[in-house]
C-alpha cells in the first residue's frame, strides 16, 4: 500500500479518477497580473528591521501586500517609508507594499504565528 503524504492545508485537484496533491496555498503571494510570488523571496535582511520586534505578511487582494509590523518603539514616517521601500524592493513591480504598525500579530485558530496570512481566493 503506498504511503500518502499530505498536510492539512494542501490543495488537491482531480486528475481523471485520481487526485493530485498540489501543495500549500499559504506560502504564495499573488501579483496584480496573477503572477505567483513565493514568500521565500520576501526574506528580508536589513538593518532597518532592527527597530521592529516582528513582522508578518498579509494579502487581501491580488497585487497588494500588507506588512504588519510590531515596532520596538515609535517609528517616524521616514522610518516607515524606508521600511516600506525595503519590502517593496523585495516584492518587485507585481506587488504594492503597505506597512501597517500593529500591537500584535494575527494567529491561526490553534494560536500559531504564520509568516503569511493569505486571504486571496484563487481559482485552482
Q: Are 30 and 122 in contact (CB under 8 A)?
A: yes
pLDDT of residue 3 exceeding 70, the answer is no
Other beta carbons within 10 angstroms of residue 27's beta carbon come to 14
Helices marked H in the chain: 77-91
Which residue shows C-alpha cell 500500500?
A: 1
pLDDT of residue 21 exceeding 70, the answer is no
Q: Are 15 and 22 in contact (CB under 8 A)?
A: no
pTM flag (> 0.75):
yes
What's the pLDDT tens digit per position in 54-80? 999 999 999 999 999 999 999 999 999
Amino acid at each position: 500500500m503506498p504511503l500518502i503524504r499530505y498536510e492539512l492545508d494542501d490543495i488537491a485537484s482531480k486528475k481523471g479518477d485520481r487526485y493530485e496533491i498540489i501543495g500549500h496555498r499559504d506560502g504564495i503571494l499573488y501579483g496584480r497580473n496573477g503572477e505567483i510570488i513565493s514568500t521565500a523571496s520576501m526574506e528580508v535582511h536589513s538593518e532597518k528591521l532592527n527597530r521592529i520586534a516582528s513582522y508578518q505578511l498579509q494579502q487581501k487582494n491580488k497585487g497588494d501586500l500588507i506588512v504588519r509590523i510590531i515596532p520596538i518603539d515609535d517609528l517616524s514616517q521616514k522610518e516607515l517609508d524606508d521600511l516600506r521601500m525595503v519590502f517593496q524592493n523585495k516584492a518587485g513591480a507585481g506587488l504594492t507594499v503597505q506597512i501597517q504598525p500593529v500591537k500584535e500579530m494575527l494567529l491561526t485558530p490553534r494560536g500559531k504565528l504564520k509568516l503569511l496570512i493569505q486571504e486571496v481566493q484563487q481559482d485552482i
